[in-house]
Structure 1
Amino acid sequence: MAFTLASATELLEEIKKSRFLTRAFPINSVEQAEEIIETVRKEEATHHCYAWKFHQNYRFNDDGEPTGTAGKPILNAIEGRNCDCVLVIVTRWFGGVKLGTGGLVRAYGGGAARALQNAELVELVDWQNLTFHCPFNLLPIIENEVQNFLAQIENRHFDDSGCELTLRLPKAEQQNFIDWLKDKSSGKILIDRENSHSDMSF
């Protein structure tokens, strides 16, 4: 089970005279993550270290801090909270006192972890689109039943013999719905799997 942020959040901390501002964002694409990073980088600060995770893709950057002391600890914090589709940027304003490698790991990774702990998380759902044709007599039954499978009707297209429906439903409910539909239609309704696709969102 994976989670993302309900909304952007931030946490400001002071550690041995350095200020650390942790900002965490929900992201809908890799491109969105890069756009946010470029915007934040325009702010004057000593370092803008970050990590993001978007499904199978991830990236982290130490932005001038010693290798392995910032970006990777931030990514570890994201993964430690079972988060996905999340970007975390930790901005540092150096206060004149060096923290050492261990101190940096604790500052960056700890700040990211605390920000995510304080954030409101929402479960990411793997949604599946299913398209099928049903006769007129079954349409009201299906329309009344879809909510029991946490499904939503995305599109209706009527023709002389009935209606082509496209549903959006959680992948975990897909087989249950197909079995129910097969039973209700006595096996006459076929699912168009070739036109189905999935996406992760909340």
Structure 2
Amino acid sequence: MSSPFNVPVAEVESSQLIKKSRFITHLLPVTDREHAFSQIEQLRQQYPDARHHCWAFIAGAPDDTQVLGFSDDGEPNGTAGKPILAQLQGSGLGYVLAVVIRYFGGIKLGTGGLVRAYGSSVAQALAIVETHPYIAKTTLSMEFGFDALGEANQLFTRFNVIQQTIDYNESVCVTVELPAQHRQQFMDALTNACRGQVEFQMPLQDKG
């Protein structure tokens, strides 16, 4: 199990000018690898005339080496993606993506200069991003009688449950998302409210 960590609240943007090259950094939260790649592509489209779109992400807990990714996007090997990733890893954040867009100004920075430029660009964005603790979520499906719906809705509010789907047939079938740490307590409370007349179906694994 991962140690507690923080995630970005929302996207931030920063920029700096180094020897006539402009470095624009977007730092933002992501939910998984696919989401990260989608955001990278959106930023490529947002800055189509930029020379480089270098990036790195941690699409999970910061200590999970299976969820890392980075790219130099045409810069010399090791001068962009790795320095960006190093800044993210040093921050202790999870579920985070940094994309640094470079508009070349005509002056070469050299290997060391590029490493410093990309690293400092991300450090600048990290200094202004707002974060909050990451809370692992889980999905849970359940079926219970209509007579328990009122009490169930009260429990949804109490346990910060978000309804994803709900179907009314002969009984009430609901799929919800809630903090994983509250799952068992919520299930016990709903079982009591339904006098044992509830069926649960749990996911194979929690989110995060």
TM-score (ref. length: structure 2) = 0.76
2:56 alignment counterpart: 51
- Match of 1:88, SS state, is strand
- Decide which moves more: 177-186 or 68-77: 177-186
1:120 alignment counterpart: 130
Post-superposition CA distance 1:95-116 (Å, at most 9, x none): 5263552x33222112112112
1:110 alignment counterpart: 120
More strand by share: 1
Equivalent residue in structure 1 for 2:179, among 144, 163, 170: 170
How far 1:142 sits from its partner (Å)? 1.0
> Cα 1:122–1:43, aligned 2, differ >3 Å: closer, same or farther?
farther
Pairwise mapping of residues 181-196 of structure 1 onto structure 2 (< 5 A)? 181-193=190-202
Task: Please report the RMSD computed on the Cα atoms of aligned residues, expressed in angstroms.
Answer: 2.9
Q: How many Å separate the matches in 1 of 2:53 and 2:99? A: 10
- The letter of the residue matching 1:187 is G
2:63 alignment counterpart: none
Contact kept? 2:76, 2:111, Cα under 8 Å: no
- Match of 2:127, SS state, is helix
Contact kept? 1:132, 1:190, Cα under 8 Å: yes
Contact kept? 1:77, 1:109, Cα under 8 Å: yes
Structure 1: gaps spanning 5 or more residues? none
- The letter of the residue matching 2:94 is C
1:71 alignment counterpart: 81
Equivalent residue in structure 1 for 2:42, among 36, 39, 46: 36
Q: How many Å separate the matches in 2 of 1:148 and 1:176? A: 11
1:62 alignment counterpart: 72
- Match of 2:83, SS state, is helix
Pairwise mapping of residues 127-146 of structure 1 onto structure 2 (< 5 A)? 127-146=137-156
Structure 2: gaps spanning 5 or more residues? 61-65
Q: How many Å separate the matches in 2 of 1:27 and 1:105? A: 24
Post-superposition CA distance 1:108-133 (Å, at most 9, x none): 11211211221233555433221111
1:84 alignment counterpart: 95
> Cα 1:89–1:159, aligned 2, differ >3 Å: closer, same or farther?
same
1:93 aligns with 2:104: yes
TM-score (ref. length: structure 1) = 0.78
Q: How many Å separate the matches in 2 of 1:35 and 1:123? A: 27
Contact kept? 1:132, 1:164, Cα under 8 Å: yes
Contact kept? 1:130, 1:197, Cα under 8 Å: no
How far 1:147 sits from its partner (Å)? 1.2
- Match of 1:12, SS state, is strand
- The letter of the residue matching 2:48 is K
How far 1:26 sits from its partner (Å)? 3.9
Contact kept? 2:155, 2:190, Cα under 8 Å: no
Post-superposition CA distance 1:27-70 (Å, at most 9, x none): 4514413423542563143x432223333433212234332221
1:24 alignment counterpart: 27
